[in-house]
Chains A and B, each alone.
Chain A
Amino acid sequence: MPLLRVDNMSHFFGGLRAVHKYNLVLEPGHIVGLIGPNGAGKTTIFNLITGIHTPTSGNIELNGQNLIGRQPHEIAALGLGRTFQNILLWRHMNVLEHVKMACYSQLEYGLFGAFFGTPRRHREENRITAKALHLLKIFELSEYQAQLVTSLSYGVQRRVEMARAMAINPRVLFLDEPTAGMTPDELNRMITIIRDIHQNFEVAIFLIEHRLKFVMELCERIQTLVFGEIIAEGSPEEIQNNPQVIEAYLGSEDVS
């Protein structure tokens, strides 16, 4: 059974057709890439699956559970972690607090505990602190744990965002342009990080990316989206040689 399954999903913003009959099957442990020119609707697809928008029609299932009509936080708690294209961090919070925050749905104390500081709350807080520290170690962020995120460099902020996404115990991880604005060095490092996550956490990854080198190297399967429609899907080699993809990216040779 596939982990994430999207059937015939369409979405309209008013009269604008943003996504048309989109299908996705994500098996456990796979890495799938989504490429396409600017404005093709890639991020919209992310937002539809994660519940920020509700699709006009279609079906989404995560691990056999229907996601349509659920709030984004419920979908996240079901095991769907994500990062954002334009890094969305909380500017008055430090790195450790970021990762702890993503454990929100795993907290086993209620408001009473929060108000009166019960022993159970202390136990729970200690538990998620330990978990967060462990994650920070994996992402090589331990040295920054007490720093505010605004004081960190771009590459480090990306890593904080990924560590945070991993703290919700995801089964599927959505990465929205994980290498945007990175230097070649940082890019290579990001490839290793994503490979590590993929191997160590047993999570399926679905990513949007513009750098073809990066996508070709990581993904087992690639979808190409143009004007909200998938025009090609297949292995990296197939995509690389697909005339339609080349046309969408480079324009046609025909100049008559």
Chain B
Amino acid sequence: MARKIIETRSAVSGLVGKFRQSTRRIPLLAWLLGWLAAAATEYFVGDAISYYLGLPKIPVLFGCLLILKKPLFIPGVMGYLLLIYILPVIVVARLGRGPANRLAVLLARGSVFIATIIHLGLFYLALHIWADISDYRLLLLKLTMVAVILTLSLNVINGYMGEFSCSHPGFMALGAYTASTITLWLFADDKLFGSPLLSPALGPYLFPLALVCGGIVAALGAVIIAIPSFRTRGDYLAIISLAFLFIVKSVIENLEFVGGPRGMSSQPDYSSLPMVFLGMVSCVWIVNNFVTSTMGKALCAIRDNEMAAEAMSVNTRKTKIVTFMFGAFWAGVAGGLFAHILRYVNPGSFGIQRLAEILAMLYFGGLNSVTGSIIGAVSINIFSEALRPLELFKWIIIPLLLILVMLFRPTGLVAFTEFKVKKLMRPKG
């Protein structure tokens, strides 16, 4: 009996090992092609397959919502996942391994820039096709990308520099209101600002500028937090930044020309998927550039020992101001995107609840790590959507998950790592 268990166990571990062996040699390019194939399969035959499997319609979020509502659909959803996602991914990734590796070798010889563009292009295509199935997916995807920007920008302040800033939703609000004001005033016929000043056709092209303006206003707001940070750290700065969050919120609530507590609505629909994707990619790119440079490593030096950093010629005050402004800038950009996704903002959406959400994503994913922030933002977002049918239990399961992560990995899932694009894309032949 015992021997039998050991035998089956070794057989299973052998299988797992074999599977790992075979996936280890698949480059990222082949995986992306696999995802693309899965998304395309769903796009073309998803309806038919879900009909034959007895599902009411294409399961939007890998069937999680459907299963949790009606457990009877479990076999159908399993079959659907197998046919639409797992099978195409494995088949394409396996078959495409050879050519993909050859292509990856070719790309590795050329510039990193071109290789990155090709990878991102494939990734975007897969996401676009996947999101085309339903508006719900599109919205979820956009909000997840905004969450990635938010988490990453907070990671620069809380993770890399080790300050505990609570004013991120405040920066986000500044960005959201500035960008909304600009687009409503210039490009939209609106009850607050009247008829548009410029032709609405220009809007989508000038939208990035509005986002940058939002970011700059948020960055200016961050100076208010950065100056006290010269003298205080830790809990005290957390309280100061929390106070800042409330100041921003109540100022906006009392400003009539941006709608006061009722908020602003009917922003033009400028936050398209490519726009948000572009925002996220540039955020990841710039943040990663910054934190891997010696100038950015100064943040870690300040966090670990400020006196030593100063004695080693690091200008700690300048670094702190720059970092706060930098983090706030991206929070502002994220706010601008967020306002144009929902096409409605009110001061209530930038309160403590939002702060808790961002902090949870940050600490779940991992401090001091770009990869961690991306993982944290994506997984918490997808989780909280997938568990939505559980209603009350969702708010037990997610915090419980956080507690477990904090117990076993106190700094988060993937903390203190460098995000190496080159390594990610390397051929594995």
Assess the A114–B296 pair: CB atoms within 8 A: yes
Interfacial chain A residues near B300, Cβ < 8 Å: 90, 92-93, 97
Assess the B311–A82 pair: CB atoms within 8 A: yes
Assess the A72–B311 pair: CB atoms within 8 A: yes
Whether A111 contacts B305 in the complex (CB less than 8 A), given A73-B310, A121-B293, A168-B313, comes out as no
Q: Is A50 an interface residue (CB 8 A)?
A: yes
Interfacial chain A residues near B307, Cβ < 8 Å: 52, 84, 88
Q: How many residues of A contact B (CB 8 A)?
A: 37
Assess the A50–B311 pair: CB atoms within 8 A: yes
Interfacial chain A residues near B296, Cβ < 8 Å: 114
Cα(A105)–Cα(B311), bound, Å: 11
Cα(A117)–Cα(B285), bound, Å: 9
Cα(A167)–Cα(B304), bound, Å: 19
Interfacial chain A residues near B312, Cβ < 8 Å: 73, 76, 101-102, 104, 164-165, 167-168
Q: Is B233 an interface residue (CB 8 A)?
A: no
Interfacial chain B residues near A73, Cβ < 8 Å: 310-316
- Measured CB to CB, the closest approach of chain B to A233, in angstroms, equals 26
Residues of A89-108 whose CB lies within 8 A of B: 89-93, 97, 100-105, 107
Assess the A125–B294 pair: CB atoms within 8 A: yes
Whether A104 contacts B294 in the complex (CB less than 8 A), given A72-B311, A168-B313, comes out as yes
Cα(A88)–Cα(B94), bound, Å: 51
Q: How many residues of B contact A (CB 8 A)?
A: 28
- Measured CB to CB, the closest approach of chain A to B136, in angstroms, equals 35
Cα(A121)–Cα(B289), bound, Å: 10
Q: Is B197 an interface residue (CB 8 A)?
A: no
Cα(A50)–Cα(B313), bound, Å: 11
Q: Is B322 an interface residue (CB 8 A)?
A: yes
The residue in chain A whose Cβ has the minimal distance to the Cβ of B295 is: A114
Interfacial chain B residues near A167, Cβ < 8 Å: 312
Interfacial chain B residues near A103, Cβ < 8 Å: 294
Assess the A100–B308 pair: CB atoms within 8 A: no
Of the candidates A52, A88, A104, the one whose C-beta lies within 8 Å of that of B314 is: A104
Residues of B282-341 whose CB lies within 8 A of A: 286, 289-290, 293-298, 300-301, 303-305, 307-317, 322
Interfacial chain B residues near A188, Cβ < 8 Å: none
Q: Is B167 an interface residue (CB 8 A)?
A: no
Assess the A97–B297 pair: CB atoms within 8 A: yes
- Measured CB to CB, the closest approach of chain B to A110, in angstroms, equals 8
Assess the B290–A114 pair: CB atoms within 8 A: yes
Assess the A93–B294 pair: CB atoms within 8 A: no
Residues of A47-82 whose CB lies within 8 A of B: 50, 52, 71-73, 76-77, 82
Q: Is B416 an interface residue (CB 8 A)?
A: yes
Assess the A91–B304 pair: CB atoms within 8 A: yes
- Measured CB to CB, the closest approach of chain A to B64, in angstroms, equals 37
Q: Is B368 an interface residue (CB 8 A)?
A: yes
The residue in chain B whose Cβ has the minimal distance to the Cβ of A115 is: B286
Interfacial chain A residues near B416, Cβ < 8 Å: 92
Interfacial chain B residues near A52, Cβ < 8 Å: 307, 310-311
Assess the A77–B313 pair: CB atoms within 8 A: yes
Interfacial chain A residues near B295, Cβ < 8 Å: 104, 107, 109, 111, 114
Q: Is A128 an interface residue (CB 8 A)?
A: yes
Most chain A CB within a 10 A radius of its CB, from B293, B308, B313, B322: B313
Q: Is A13 an interface residue (CB 8 A)?
A: no
Whether A89 contacts B305 in the complex (CB less than 8 A), given A50-B311, A71-B310, A105-B313, comes out as yes
- Measured CB to CB, the closest approach of chain A to B286, in angstroms, equals 5
Assess the A101–B314 pair: CB atoms within 8 A: yes
Q: Give per-residue flags for A150-170: 1 if the beta carbon is below 8 A from chain B beta carbons, else 0.
A: 000000000000001101100
Assess the A101–B304 pair: CB atoms within 8 A: no
Assess the A101–B294 pair: CB atoms within 8 A: yes
Whether A101 contacts B322 in the complex (CB less than 8 A), given A82-B311, A90-B305, A91-B304, comes out as no
Interfacial chain B residues near A102, Cβ < 8 Å: 312-313
Whether A88 contacts B305 in the complex (CB less than 8 A), given A101-B314, A168-B312, comes out as yes
The 5 closest A-B pairs by CB, nearest first: A90-B304, A105-B313, A88-B308, A76-B313, A102-B312
Residues of B that sit less than 8 Å from A by CB: 286, 289-290, 293-298, 300-301, 303-305, 307-317, 322, 368, 416
Chosen A-B contacts, 6 in total, with CB atoms closer than 8 Å, are A89-B304, A90-B303, A93-B301, A101-B309, A111-B295, A114-B289
